[in-house]
A = this chain, B = another copy of it.
């Protein structure tokens, strides 16, 4: 089953196209992570999925029905989809009343309402503040209450814009677990944005990468702004953040944004061929697990992320703090 199906959806502000999606399917009951740099259009997309904003052009199907962006039509759909904003707003009243609002609207009886409110607040660890004035809460408290407010409504879809950006470590884990659990138990479809790759991959079944309004297939790592200077016949010298120089095949010059494919970077403990092009030396600062792969972050002027297969990892066994040698294949660098 598909929850959403989008085709040719764009959103234009003034003359700026901030969203331009050819086609996107969101499956029911799955968890999607939406990644991308600032201003990529993540929030814009979530607002459209939440029926809180309309696309400039394009068609959207929700649960197999085409969506008409008119007031009367959208209201029943909004009952099934709840969005938690990036900077959530709580109504100027108590935490309790904030949670009660959506339930009251759905005509949930008082007793059940009270039970759901208590449960939801408990899930985000905010039950002790049920009678607090919501607009006086701290940043992280606000975010957690906003999430509880959405969860309390048991919608079909929850759209979370950076659900844990201001949440403390303990509760980040709680929230991630909570989302995973309701996804499983209630067949909830979840789309969330994040700048934390680790969190995204650990929670999501699928990762969408948005860049300048377009869906990109590339992953959201090793994205750099660099300056190119032409060298010779289709080769260019590329300086990344004034600290790393690579040689890549390109005819362009000037300021560009480029991605280095983390799966196309080689790693070794000992030097085999110092003269190989784009050979770098750096220190391992982090090693982490990621969906059947191992993520290794090497600091060499800038932070470069490598995705190693399990075999490669156990073969090289890079230890944190160790100096390693990496080499970037010229075709690993993609200019966007």
Q: Footprint of B on A, CB under 8 Å?
A: 13, 36-40, 42-43, 86-87, 125, 136-141, 144, 161-162, 165-174, 195, 197-198, 220-221, 223-225, 241, 283-289, 294, 302-303, 310, 313-314, 317, 319-321
Contact of A320 with B37 at beta-carbon distance under 8 Å, contacts A43-B139, A173-B303 already known = no
What are 18 pairs between A and B in contact, CB < 8 Å? Answer: A13-B136, A37-B170, A38-B141, A39-B141, A43-B139, A87-B139, A139-B161, A140-B195, A165-B165, A170-B223, A173-B302, A174-B241, A283-B289, A285-B289, A287-B287, A313-B319, A317-B317, A317-B319
- Given A166-B195, A220-B169, A225-B125, the answer on whether A39 and B138 have CB atoms closer than 8 Å is yes
Counting every copy of the chain, the complex holds 2
Given contacts A37-B168, A287-B288, 15 further A-B contacts (CB under 8 A): A39-B140, A86-B166, A125-B225, A168-B195, A169-B195, A169-B221, A169-B223, A170-B224, A285-B288, A285-B289, A286-B288, A286-B289, A287-B287, A288-B320, A294-B321
In the complex, the answer to whether A139 meets B173 with C-beta atoms within 8 Å is no
C-alpha gap A304/B161 in the complex (Å): 27
* Complex contacts, A144 vs chain B, CB 8 Å: 38
| Given known contacts A141-B38, A166-B165, A220-B169, A289 and B321 CB-to-CB distance under 8 angstroms | yes
Which of these, B38, B43, B173, contacts A167 with CB under 8 Å? B38
Complex contact A36–B310 (CB within 8 A): no
User: Which B residues lie within 8 Å of A161 (CB)?
Assistant: 139
A167 to B286, CA, bound (A): 20
Q: Which chain B residues lie closer than 8 Å to A169 at the CB level?
A: 37, 195, 197, 220-221, 223
